Structure 1
């Protein structure tokens, strides 16, 4: 978290330190506001760091045992879609060694301009077998996959039209009865409480349900992880 977002941490701490240093030189009312703002900035940085540590380092998130509640059976073929940082392909391949895996890399530096994505990609490069794709053109033949995974990937497509195209492509890649597994933080009360304004980088629950419906997928299962991450399973057709 810190390695990927260190400029934001640096800017936040610098702003907090500057506010605290200048507070004594300000009129009483502004002094109180400056100190409160400094404390709030430090508090949000601390809460976001602790929350990220609990979710990514201490929770069940990366053991993937929660998939048992979302997938009725192990897939014979599955697709992992990444948009910059792919931490799912390797553990999913190890979980289902007999399953054919296609890893698709949608990263486009002209579109995904956030520095955190570039830094994450340098630290964790795509798997060697990943193939490039676009939101409107996944390199997967129709009906190939029993499961498609979008794990902390879809929110990096900031344009609604790109997300719509991606969900339609995921549905096209699924066999009838196959499932799209979406894992995301939501723009909700819990995430706003710990990430503050940073939670606006996430998308609300209603947007994900809308995208699934747009692609002809229906909700099949849902799991909350560490109180801050939601894993959805959407089904193509009727099982």
Structure 2
């Protein structure tokens, strides 16, 4: 299947999946403007509030366009920093949270390997409107299998690479994250790797997404989760100031 993305597909996805936030934001801006016309209050305060709201609405789109449309994220050039010996890779697992933009790209990058795709989306737990909308337009890779985060139906030490790309932050419970990563640890060959890409709850992502950065987790949370899951190493490589690649080995 064609893996070429449309222009501005990333930022258009953000707008489409999170349109409820933008509708609410525009509505609040309209109320603020109306109140400023009706009641007498400081022009300086009014423009400061307008600037803050516009920043909160526009900056996530600018950053998302930079990451998902112009940084080369979907070209997977960042894989060169993951020290992968492709000659030893025969089995790859790609796990998503109900929205899959990467499986066909991974298969294109590793045409000779066996690629298995799992989806841990749970409608009862993962109820955010953005995920529900994303699932409606997601391209499903052939034979994608629905799983529970606590049970991945593959044998022990059977996978060379496990990709977790902008997905695991949807597991909100720390206990569930650890159980899921323990399953990933069980599947990894002794020389296998987990490649996880995530935004972090840090200052750059606060500047990018304001209060929306609380949807992500800090590096410390991820490090503790991987250690508690039994992983021997935890390495971070930055991909843009807003995304981190974590490379973990069993």
Q: Same fold (TM over 0.5)?
A: yes
Superposition deviation, residue 32 in structure 1: 4.4
1:94 CA drift (Å): 1.0
Q: Which segments of 5 or more consecutive residues in structure 1 lack a partner in the other structure?
A: none
1:24 aligns with 2:37: yes
Q: 1:72 corresponds to which residue? A: 84
Greater mean deviation of Cα atoms: 57-66 or 31-40: 31-40
Count of paired positions: 235
Does structure 1 residue 102 correspond to structure 2 residue 116?
Answer: yes
Verify the 8 A CA contact 2:223 2:234 in the aligned structure 1: no
Q: Distance in 1 between matches of 2:103 and 2:233?
A: 24
Q: Which shows bigger deviation, 15-24 or 196-205?
A: 15-24
Moved over 4 A (4+): none
Query: What residue number does 1:235 align with?
Result: 249
- What is the CA distance between 1:118 and its match in structure 2? 0.9
State the partner residue of 2:176: 162
Counterparts of 2:77 and 2:233, CA distance in 1: 20
**Alignment match, 1:52:** 64
Q: Which residue of 2 aligns with 1:62?
A: 74
| Equivalent of residue 174 in structure 1, options 184, 188, 195 | 188
Cα distance in 2, alignment partners of residues 208 and 218 from structure 1: 14
Deviations 1:154-196 (A, max 9, x none): 0001111111111000000100021111100000000001110
Gaps of at least 5 residues in structure 2 are 1-13
Instruction: Tell which has more relative contact order, 1 or 2 (C-alpha 8 A, sep 6+).
Output: 1
TM-fit CA distance, 1:220? 5.2
Q: How much is the aligned-residue C-alpha RMSD, in angstroms?
A: 1.4
**Cα distance change, pair 81–165 in 1 and its aligned pair in 2 (3 A):** same
The TM-score with structure 1 as length reference comes to 0.94
Paired with 2:220 and 2:170, the residues of 1 have a C-alpha distance of 17
Q: Secondary structure at the match of 2:148?
A: coil
